[in-house]
A and B are shown apart, each in its own frame.
Chain A
Amino acid sequence: MPDEATTTGKSYLTPFNIVAGIIIIIGLYVTVLRFTQGLGAVTNLSDYNPWGIWIGFDLLVGVALAAGGFVTSAAVYIFGMKKYHAAVRPAILTGFLGYAMVVVALNYDVGRPWRLPYPFIMQQGTTSLLFEVAACVALYLTVLFVEFSPAALEWLGLKKARNIVIKLTLLLTIFGVVLSTLHQSSLGALFLIAPSKLHPLWYSPYIAVFFFVSAIIAGLSMVIFESTLSHHYFADKMDEAHLKEKDDIALGFGKAASFVLAGYFIIKVIGISESNNWHLLGTSYGIWFLVELLGFVALPCFFYAIGVREKNLKIIKWTAVWTVLGIILNRLNVGLIAFNWHLPSSERYFPHWMEIAISVFLVTVGLVVFRFIVSHMPILYAHPDYEDEH
Chain B
Amino acid sequence: MSISRRKFLGWLGAAGFGTALGNTAHAASNKHFDGYPNSNGVLFDNTRCIGCRKCEEGCNRVNELPEPDRPFSDLSLLDTKRRTTAKSYTIVNRYDEAASGKGPLYRKDQCNHCLEPACASACFVRAFSKTTSGAVIYDASVCVGCRYCMIACPFEIPTYEYDKAFSPRVMKCTMCYPRISKGLLPGCVEACPTEALTFGKREDLLKIGRERIAKFPERYVDHIYGENEMGGTSWLYLSAVPFEDVGMREDLGVTPAPKLTAGALSAVPMVVGLWPVLLTGIYAINQRKGKIERQEKEQAVAAALEKAVSEAETKLSQAMEKAEKEKAAAIETAVSKALEDAAKAAEEEVGDPAAEDADKKSSEEDS
Residues in A with CB closer than 8 Å to B168 are: 38-39, 111-112
Residues in B with CB closer than 8 Å to A170 are: 1, 3, 283
Interface residue? B201 (CB, 8 A): no
Q: A127-B261, A129-B261, A193-B257 are in contact. Are A174 and B275 (CB under 8 A)?
A: yes
Query: Which A131-159 residues sit within 8 Å CB-CB of chain B?
Result: 131-132, 134
Interface residue? A281 (CB, 8 A): no
Residues in A with CB closer than 8 Å to B83 are: 47-48
Q: Are A128 and B121 in contact (CB under 8 A)?
A: yes
Residues in B with CB closer than 8 Å to A48 are: 83, 156
Interface magnitude class on chain B: 35 or more
Interface residue? B197 (CB, 8 A): no
Residue A132 contacts which of B24, B260, B265 (CB distance < 8 angstroms)?
Answer: B265
CA distance A174 to B280 in the complex (A): 8
Q: Are B144 and A196 in contact (CB under 8 A)?
A: no
Q: Are B264 and A186 in contact (CB under 8 A)?
A: yes
Residue of A nearest to B148 (CB): A130
Where the two chains meet, the residues of A that have a C-beta atom closer than 8 Å to any C-beta of B are 35-41, 43, 45-48, 50-51, 74, 77-80, 109-113, 115-116, 118-119, 122-132, 134, 167, 169-171, 173-174, 177-178, 181-182, 185-186, 189-197, 205, 208
The listed residue with most B CB atoms (<10 A of its CB), out of A41, A132, A194, is: A194
Q: Are B125 and A123 in contact (CB under 8 A)?
A: yes
CA distance A249 to B21 in the complex (A): 41
Residue of B nearest to A118 (CB): B125
Enumerate 22 A-B pairs (CB-CB under 8 Å) in ascending A order. A38-B165, A43-B162, A47-B150, A50-B148, A50-B151, A80-B286, A109-B146, A111-B164, A112-B145, A125-B125, A127-B24, A128-B122, A129-B264, A132-B265, A186-B264, A192-B263, A193-B151, A193-B257, A193-B261, A194-B154, A195-B260, A197-B154
CA distance A116 to B18 in the complex (A): 22
Residue B268 contacts which of A122, A132, A192 (CB distance < 8 angstroms)?
Answer: A132
B159 CB → nearest A CB, Å: 4
Q: Are B271 and A182 in contact (CB under 8 A)?
A: yes
CA distance A362 to B265 in the complex (A): 31
Q: Are A181 and B144 in contact (CB under 8 A)?
A: no
Q: Are A110 and B124 in contact (CB under 8 A)?
A: no
Residue B156 contacts which of A45, A47, A193 (CB distance < 8 angstroms)?
Answer: A47
CA distance A118 to B22 in the complex (A): 18
Q: Are B11 and A47 in contact (CB under 8 A)?
A: no
Residue of A nearest to B165 (CB): A38
CA distance A113 to B168 in the complex (A): 11
Annotate B107-142 by CB proximity to A: 1 below 8 A, 0 otherwise: 000000000001011111111000000000000001
Residues in B with CB closer than 8 Å to A134 are: 124
